[in-house]
Amino acid sequence: MGILERTNNKIKKEFFKFSNKELTENLERLVSELNYIAPVNFCSVGARGGNPYLINYLRRLRIANTIGFEPDSEEARILRTNNIYEEVFEYALGEYETDETLYITKEPGCSSILKPNMDFIKKHFSSPDWFEIVNEALIHVTGLDNISSKLPDIDIIQIDTQGYEYQIIKGGEETIKRIPVIIFESHMYELYEGQKTFFQIHNLMTKNNFLLNDLKQQGDFGCLGAEFNFVYFNENLFKSEKNKVTTLLKTAYHLNNNSFDELLIKII
């Protein structure tokens, strides 16, 4: 369901339409042309399953540092054991400091602080059993603004929290002023009870001077365009030629890819 899959093989199959050889050659050429100095700091909120394949590759080239937020204690343990991130924070981000229930679903990637809207899901989704709640866990939630002093300067933040994206952005409105790129998954309809849909998130993003740059549809909802990944650029930060993500963006077109192989490649 999220843009992160549980294995690199699945990620490569779904998102990278070019061969491993082409990916390797293009990325190594990009790194060489950049004469890169400082790594990109990538933050994943809803870190289950690990980084996208491209970020993992950039870590191997030592031009990406990664941190993750994952409130599911077992999943956080797996991420630490496998050294997926430089640091894993075992709590959730939201608008306020509070405790919430995490509803863990049959397909773990569908888990959320919000309950699935099963009436809608049964009507439109091909595998509604994925959203069946199989367990619950009490988790701690804090705002991004509350803990930003513990984090490095973030270049790209990816949010994949199954309907809870609005609250995370709202709780980080001061911090995101310093973040050049935000990627998030969102829905056009209420897949989860009481969730804010894309349209409300878009208004919040534009209020904070972020511009929609790209999107990609995902999820099997029949004829509905229900679930998408969105990329937003911070308008204020991209005015500077010195911004390292801007430099990466300009040179990334050597990779010659137009689909979401896509959204990350256009940025990195």
Q: Which distant-in-sequence residues (6+ apart) come within 8 Å of 174 by Cβ?
A: 145, 148
| Closest alpha carbon to 64 in 97, 93, 41 | 41
List 187's β-bridge partners, or say none.
227
Residue-range domain boundaries for the chain: 8-267
State if pTM tops 0.85: no
Q: How many Å separate Cα 47 from the centre of its chain?
A: 8
If you search the block for the tokens 């701690």, which residue do you land on? 140
Query: Which residue type sits at 142?
Result: T
Q: Would you state the pLDDT for residue 187?
A: 95
**What is the total residue count of the chain?**
268
Please report, in tens digits, the pLDDT of each residue of the chain (268 residues total): 443 333 334 333 433 444 455 555 665 665 565 555 467 788 999 988 777 666 776 777 677 789 999 999 999 999 999 888 999 999 999 999 999 999 999 999 999 999 999 999 999 988 999 999 999 999 999 999 999 999 999 988 999 999 999 999 999 999 999 998 899 999 999 999 999 999 999 999 999 999 998 888 887 787 788 899 898 889 888 655 445 554 454 444 333 333 334 545 444 4
Q: Are 102 and 137 in contact (CB under 8 A)?
A: yes
The fold of the 8-267 domain, in CATH, is Rossmann fold (3.40.50)
